[in-house]
Chain A
Amino acid sequence: MATLVLDNGAYSAKIGFSQETVRVIPNCQFRSKTSRLKTFTANQLDEIKDPSGLFYILPFQKGYLVNWDVQRKVWDHLFGKEMFKVDFADTSVIITEPCFNFSSIQESMNEILFEEYQFQSVLRTNAGSLSAHHFFSSRPSELCCLLVDSGFSFTHIIPYCRSKKMKEGIRRVNVGGKLLTNHLKEIISYRQLHVMDETHVINQVKEDVCYVSQQFFKDMEISQMKGEENTVVRDYVLPDFSSIKKGFCKPREEMVFSGKYKTGEQILRLANERFAVPEMLFHPSDIGIQEMGIPEAIVHSIQSLPEEMHAHFFQNIVLTGGNILFSGFRERLEAELRALAPAHLPVSVLQPPNPICYPWEGGKLLAHSPDYDEIVVTREDFEENGHFICEEKFDI
């Protein structure tokens, strides 16, 4: 029997059989200005030659699965003959859901996986639990870890003591990649060029030029300077999807500091935007979200847990999710935690080589573990016992 591992994120699905490697695929549908009548599903995005003004149809809202029509279209495509060719009767699926997933969504999940698709068996879990499994598999001597999962919809801080999720310590900061991209769109549109319709393009700008500052107010000063002294400012050449397929930063030596470029490309000049946008992860109150930033929320989480565990948590903070890829994220978080944590406790923040696929890789390991068959619910079990058996076995 095959096991399919699906880390079903609100923006991208991380999917692959446990014997194979992972693929990261958009978990949504798209419509484009150039072929208005067609709806593109998941990786059909690649067929759109001009993704300017790309329209998103997302199955998730605020991190929770609400649009099942869209989700099922994406899954039909992923499980189908063009992609993973799933033989449902002979396949087990490991699928992730957000922390505290609503009970009605959990029931819908059971019905769709067992009754619609008819998987042979199912393991529903949190991405954090797969990450924890990954972590403890590679460091069997550790007792605790604290996962920071910073994704598209929000950031979760989830403490694990061995395989046990410590629910009382979970904290959610309502800042994720979607908010950052929308905020970047908003400030660029106000300051220089209307890009409110260009989520796809500006998301790429964000990934290409934004970073987490190590010295926020110093960088503010630098980015206000004129000419060569301003080492923060970048000129970003926007794609036109004919001669320029992908946007890029002008190399420093080609930057024109005063006057205009003669090359005729469309350029965005980015200075404080580069680090003020990811700063929301550390100071949500900068834009009026009255919540702690990630470092403070981590300390708040650890303090809610038994004191004898504190040292273990501060030493094993593991970063997952797309926002971790902002350069400087880990260093800044470690520095801030060092300042906030009790002085006698060592602080260590670990960034896995692939923070986006770390949970998926944990799922892959779990699929090969000897007691896998005991933690799943089979279709037979579900037909006999219904939702009850899933509530018993799954820890969502």
Chain B
Amino acid sequence: MVLEKKTSARVEAGQRRVLDEATRQRRLSRQLEALEKDNFQDDPLSSLPPPGPTARLPAFSETEEPEKKRRKTRGDHFKQRFRKNFTTLLEEENLSDRAEPNYLSAEAPPSSLPPRHFCCVCGFPSHYTCTTCGGRYCSSKCLCTHRETRCLKWTL
């Protein structure tokens, strides 16, 4: 049965889209960027329904406090200067042409050890590569799951 599944998977591969190297790289960097995110859900404040007659009364007194505080802080001029994101700040440092040790030069270089491969479904060591996306899998069961779920996801 396992054998049968494998042949059918191979035939199917012939018709499936094959992602090029650039797409695979983009997909990897998107996955790595996601690991830097602070939150995946929406801010509960922004996802509030518009206040209506049903809104709890104590909630209103809660809003007043931060608003008052905000008016008091003298930080408006800070807003421009003090609200740059990491990428902007890094660019402004102009580090690429500096000789002395700096943020960019301190990054650990690539490992000289051979890469290790793990099944993108179950996490165990894997020996096979998905022909479509280059993802790794360990068994026909995991390949099936992979194709049904993630294989062509994040490929835009």
Bound together, the chains give a CA A35 to CA B48 distance in angstroms of 10
**Bound state CA distance, A111 and B116, in angstroms?**
48
Cβ contacts under 8 Å, A32 to chain B = 44
Report the minimum CB–CB distance from B88 to chain A (whole Å).
9
Complex interface: chain A residues within 8 A of B116 (CB): 283, 285-286
A99 touches B93 (CB 8 A): no
Q: Provide the residues of chain A in CB contact with B107, threshold 8 Å.
A: 171-172, 174, 291
A217 touching B108, Cβ below 8 Å: no
Interface string of B50-74 (1 = CB under 8 A from A): 0000000001001100100000010
Known: A102-B90, A224-B124. A300 touches B108 (CB 8 A): yes
B70-87 contacts to A (CB < 8 Å):
73, 75, 78, 81-86
Report how far A190 CA is from B122 CA in the complex, Å.
Answer: 9
Which residue from B34, B89, B106, B121 sits with its C-beta under 8 Å from A66? B89
B1 at the interface (CB under 8 A from A): no
What is the count of residue pairs linking A and B with beta-carbon distances less than 8 angstroms?
A: 159
Complex alpha-carbon distance, A283 and B144, angstroms = 28
Chain B residues with Cβ below 8 Å from A57 are 38
Q: Which residues of B contact A183 (CB under 8 A)?
A: 35
- Asked if A276 and B118 make an inter-chain contact with CB atoms under 8 angstroms apart, the answer reads yes
Contact assessment for A105 and B89 in the assembled complex, using a CB-CB cutoff below 8 Å: yes
CB-based contact B43/A100 at 8 Å: no
Bound complex: CA A181 to CA B56 (Å): 35
- A66 B125 Cβ-Cβ under 8 A: no
Q: What is the minimal beta-carbon distance from A43 to any residue of chain B, in angstroms?
A: 18
When distances are taken between beta carbons in the complex, the residues of chain A under 8 Å from B38 are 56-58
* B8 contact set on A, CB distance < 8 A: none
For residue A307, CB closer than 8 A to chain B, the reply is no
Q: Is B32's CB within 8 Å of the partner chain A?
A: yes
Of the four ranges (under 10, 10 to 19, 20 to 34, 35 or more), the interface on chain B belongs to 35 or more
Which residues of A have CB within 8 Å of B86?
61-62, 64, 66
B9 on the interface (CB 8 Å rule)?
A: no
Within 8 Å of chain B (Cβ to Cβ): is A384? no
**Complex interface: chain A residues within 8 A of B150 (CB):** 190
Establish whether residues B83 and A68, one from each chain, have CB atoms under 8 Å apart when the complex forms: yes
| A55 CB–B CB distance under 8 Å | yes
Nearest CB to that of B64 among chain A residues? A37
Q: Is A291 in contact with B108, judged by CB distance below 8 angstroms?
A: yes
Contacts of A315 in B (CB 8 A): none
Compute how far the CA of A272 lies from the CA of B119 in the bound complex, rounded to whole angstroms: 12
Q: Quote the shortest CB–CB distance from B73 to chain A (angstroms).
A: 8
B14 interfacial contact with A, CB 8 Å: no
Q: Which residues of A are found within 8 Å of B73, using beta-carbon distances?
A: 72
Of A191-199, A260-268, A319-327, A349-357, the one with at least 4 CB within 8 A of chain B: A191-199
Contact A283 B111, CB 8 Å, known A108-B82, A183-B35, A186-B35: yes
Known A38-B62, A38-B66, A186-B35; 11 more pairs at CB < 8 Å: A31-B44, A36-B48, A39-B66, A102-B90, A172-B103, A183-B35, A196-B41, A217-B125, A284-B111, A290-B110, A296-B108
Chain A residues at the B interface, C-beta cutoff of 8 Å: 31-33, 35-39, 53, 55-58, 61-62, 64, 66-69, 72, 99-100, 102-105, 108, 156, 167-168, 170-174, 178-179, 182-183, 185-187, 190-191, 196-197, 199, 217, 220, 224, 272-273, 276, 283-293, 296-297, 300
Q: List 29 A-B contacts (CB under 8 A).
A: A32-B44, A35-B62, A36-B44, A36-B48, A55-B43, A62-B86, A66-B83, A66-B86, A69-B78, A69-B83, A72-B73, A100-B102, A100-B103, A100-B106, A102-B103, A104-B93, A156-B106, A170-B106, A172-B107, A178-B35, A186-B34, A190-B150, A191-B121, A220-B125, A288-B28, A290-B110, A296-B108, A296-B112, A297-B108
